[in-house]
Chains A and B, each alone.
Chain A
Amino acid sequence: MTTTRNPGLEDPTDVRAIPRRSVGQTLLASGTVLALIALIVFFFAMRPDVFLGFTNVRNILYQVAILAIISGAQTIVMVVGDFDLSVAATSALAGAVASSMMLGGTPVPAAILVGLAVGVLVGLVNGVLVAYLNLSAFVATLATLTSVTGLAFLVTEGTTLFKMPEEFNNLGQGRFLQIPLPVFIATGISLILWALLKYTTLGRRWYATGGNAEVSRLSGVNVRLARLLAFTVAGLVAAIGGILLAARLGSASAVQGEDNLLFSVAAVFLGMTVVRSGAANIIGTLVGVAIIGVMSNGLNILGVNSYVQQVVTGLIIIAAVTLSSLKTRER
């Protein structure tokens, strides 16, 4: 019976039983974190008087707070193995809707709730298109991105809305213990999303779906519902980010925060390189957001031309995607 099958492959299983995390993988995993540290050390060395001072660190945190929230939304969708091109547009629409309602006299909390509902609605539409009508996430969210931006122009009538109530603007501009409120809000949302992904059955179903949708489906995970909910939660979180951006700027236009789409995808990709499984995760995403924020602030401080910054940002995204694909291949 012992015909030699797969000669040379007959290593005993116990060799494979030890964790197969190679040196390369370890380096890769910590590489992104090392890159962040290296960036910080570099900018600190260039401007030791400024870079790590309280004002500038606060400045960085303030600048990335809203990106962190929107990247959180993107993380959830990418956990289930999709992506959402409409996050930034959804956030702009939610901010515009909430702002225009406030200008129309709606009390601040009610206007915020309507803005959030708009986000949920867009997320639901994305979810239905992707999970139930089986459109590719690319096509579906590209389409909603277009329509949602159009809606935002209708809501703002192409203008920039402003003169929102002081209490609303305070959400984005106020400070507690010298720290801007959006930093606290972003921290809170990141914590909630982290716990949602790590500790709830919903979060674990999202990871199972993203890891292998077919096995999950055959094992009784309602894969469609999981994807629908992922897009819906992402819509809600994106709306939070957008409403906060309107409060932070004290104004709302149809296209504000457009760059958050690209940066959120980049942050999540960077974050995927941080963990062993190569799956999207909140902590990694925050590392990615930090890299983007530190890069932009540091280059501004050094007075680097913004076109050069744009080139460098693209290179960082390429590096991140290459790293995470290397990682998947190694498994």
Chain B
Amino acid sequence: MTVTDQTTTVVPALEARDIVKRFDGVHALNGAQLSVRPGEIHALLGENGAGKSTLIKVLTGVYAPDSGTLWRDGEEVEFPNVRVANRAGIVALYQELSIVPTISVAENILLGEQIPSRGGVVQWRALRRRAREQLNRIHQKISLSRLAGELSPVQQTMVAFARALATDARVLILDEPTASLTDTEISELFTVLRSLRDEGVAILYVSHRLEEVFELCDRLTVMRNGETIVTKDVADSHIDEVISSMVGRSAGELYPDRTTVTTEVALEVANLDGRRVKDVSFTAHTGEVLGIGGLAGSGRSELLRILSGAQKHTAGTITVGDTTLPHSPGVGRALDAGIALVPEERRTQGVILGATIRDNIALANIPAVSSFGVVDGARITDIVRKGMADLKIKARSQRQPVGELSGGNQQKVVLAKMLARKPKILLMDEPTRGIDVGTKAEIYRLIRELAAGGTTVVAVSSELPELIGMSDRVLIMHEGRISGEVRADEADEEMLLAYCYGKAETDDHDA
């Protein structure tokens, strides 16, 4: 945990010291440190869940830290809310949340208390002049009277910058600003960011795209598990070393031993195309646990949705055993073919929280528990009892509402309801999200037992150790394509992370 800030002579524009923030007793931040100097672009890096977003929210007054201090230009400050942070010159720009679409560009730039007025009447000429000044600072020629909603994404981002500048922002926090921009737009954005830096603005730049960080930023800070791992000059860093410090060392005895995988092909996907999914082909075998990784937005969840019939695809085929599914089969026919999905959003897509365990399981299996349209209570009891026993669901009775169960047991209910259909292919999106460590191990064991029993499990996870630990084989996606495939027992996290960033080999890049 070495925080290396050698040049102590520069007073940081914004500094966070020993920030601790817990949610429900879980540490989101555990002594995080950050120091952003005026006139630098500072990258904030870390895996999902490392604590970056929580830290940003503490810096901008969205969350109050449990302990730790914030320092602005060398003075200790407190930000009880966003507006106070804004007045202190700290402005965060979020991707989806930058402009008011229905009003003009000029008004967007001088939104709020900054609209020049006399006696409550807007001084349009002054408004336009001041808005123009801000746009000139970032060399933008956008018509002031256009509706902001009619601008291109990069122009909207520029308008948001101009507004931040108009509030005299000294610290600008950008969260994944390039996510929806084209290359041309990105280089335009970088030019603007550099010129703001040269004006002395401190910029905190959060991105998953390491190449961009190495191209744009002056220093970087890596976070992991709510702690700051390292802060150093980009010039002194190497991309591999950054990746290792992001990944860290962990693992443990969470994962059961692997079981035998047959050579029988259970699922064959060929040249699948769809929203966020491009030309994906792979096979999965009976008894195999196939892990799928990738960054958020890489298309991994969309791939699962297509396989489960929940999302349409534009080209390619899906074959289960000997049966090729019809094009865009829909959930019903995919289920009939033996493909079942355990969705990511358990509480909204997986279970009905207010309903009982019994009803949740029965609802997903109405054909199995009814004859001639009449539901047979005895058959439900059988199915539910078996599911609860097989999965060791801890509950008072079949009639306990699912909302009263722990996250792990809720997830088991979702599994039970899908397993009652005896799927050949079980798709799981983030199987252990929001589940405590003890139950995680149990879920991994269940997955392994299913595989040993002849089910093919395809599981998406954003946690690299989990991918390696639970799978037999791992596919990594990058921008809709499969960028790498490795046997899990030969994989390590650095290698997978490199694939996640779309790098075929780890050593063909020098920063």
Contact = CB atoms under 8 A, between A and B. Distances in A.
Contact of A9 (B121, B182, B211): B182
Nearest to B148: A211
B115 interface: yes
Contact of B102 (A3, A5, A6, A279): A279
A224 interface: no
Nearest to B118: A201
Nearest to B117: A201
A25 to B, nearest CB: 10
B115 A201 contact: yes
A90 to B, nearest CB: 25
Contacts of B115: 201, 204-205
A277 B147 contact: yes
Given A204-B107, A219-B111, A211 B100 contact: yes
B442 interface: no
Contacts of B111: 208, 215-216, 219-221
B122 A201 contact: yes
A212 interface: yes
A221 B82 CA distance: 12
B196 interface: no
Nearest to A210: B102
Interface in B146-189: 146-147, 149-152, 154-155, 163, 167, 182-186, 188
A17 B188 CA distance: 14
Contacts of A214: 97
B120 A5 contact: no
A199 B155 CA distance: 26
A305 interface: no
B86 interface: yes
A201 B211 CA distance: 44
A168 B320 CA distance: 81
B38 interface: no
A218 B215 contact: no
A222 to B, nearest CB: 8
Interface in B82-125: 82-83, 86, 92, 97-103, 107, 111-115, 117, 120-122
Interface in A169-201: 199-201
Given A5-B182, A331-B150, A211 B103 contact: yes
A201 B116 CA distance: 8
Contacts of B185: 13
B215 to A, nearest CB: 6
Interface string B28-50: 00000000000000000000000
Contacts of A16: 151-152, 155
Nearest to A5: B183
Interface in A228-280: 276-279
Interface in B31-90: 82-83, 86
B102 to A, nearest CB: 4
Contacts of A3: 211, 502
B463 interface: no
Between B102, B111, B120, B502, the greatest number of chain A beta carbons within 10 A of the residue's beta carbon is seen for: B102
A4 B278 CA distance: 14
B5 to A, nearest CB: 28
Given A207-B102, A220-B167, A13 B97 contact: no
Contact of B155 (A17, A200, A207): A17
B97 A215 contact: yes
A210 B100 CA distance: 8
A2 B150 contact: no
A20 B150 contact: yes
A19 interface: yes
A277 B145 CA distance: 12
A21 B114 contact: no
A1 B111 CA distance: 36
B146 A19 contact: yes
Nearest to A4: B183
B155 A13 contact: yes
A38 B199 CA distance: 58
Contacts of A211: 100-103, 149
B184 A17 contact: no
B479 interface: yes
Contact of A219 (B112, B120, B149): B112
Nearest to A203: B122
A319 interface: no
Given A10-B184, A207-B102, A277 B117 contact: no
A207 B103 contact: yes
A27 B67 CA distance: 58
B508 to A, nearest CB: 12
A21 B102 contact: no
Interface in A11-53: 11-13, 16-17, 19-21
A109 B151 CA distance: 51
B99 A208 contact: no
Between A10, A20, A200, A277, the greatest number of chain B beta carbons within 10 A of the residue's beta carbon is seen for: A277
Between A5, A200, A215, A277, the greatest number of chain B beta carbons within 10 A of the residue's beta carbon is seen for: A215
Contacts of B103: 204, 207-208, 211, 277
A5 to B, nearest CB: 6
Contacts of B112: 205, 208, 216, 219-221
A58 interface: no
B114 A220 contact: yes
Contacts of B502: 3
Between B83, B112, B115, B185, the greatest number of chain A beta carbons within 10 A of the residue's beta carbon is seen for: B112
A212 B100 contact: yes
A196 to B, nearest CB: 9
B211 to A, nearest CB: 6
The 3 closest A-B pairs by CB, nearest first: A220-B112, A211-B100, A211-B102
Given A200-B121, A218-B82, A277-B147, 19 more contacts: A6-B182, A11-B182, A12-B184, A13-B184, A13-B185, A19-B150, A21-B150, A199-B121, A200-B120, A202-B120, A207-B107, A208-B112, A210-B102, A212-B100, A212-B101, A220-B86, A221-B112, A276-B147, A277-B103
30 contacts: A2-B183, A3-B502, A4-B183, A5-B186, A10-B182, A13-B152, A13-B185, A16-B155, A21-B150, A200-B121, A201-B117, A201-B121, A204-B103, A204-B115, A205-B115, A207-B102, A211-B103, A212-B101, A214-B97, A215-B99, A215-B100, A216-B100, A216-B111, A218-B86, A219-B86, A219-B167, A220-B83, A277-B102, A277-B147, A331-B101
Interface of A: 1-6, 9-13, 16-17, 19-21, 199-205, 207-208, 210-212, 214-221, 276-279, 331
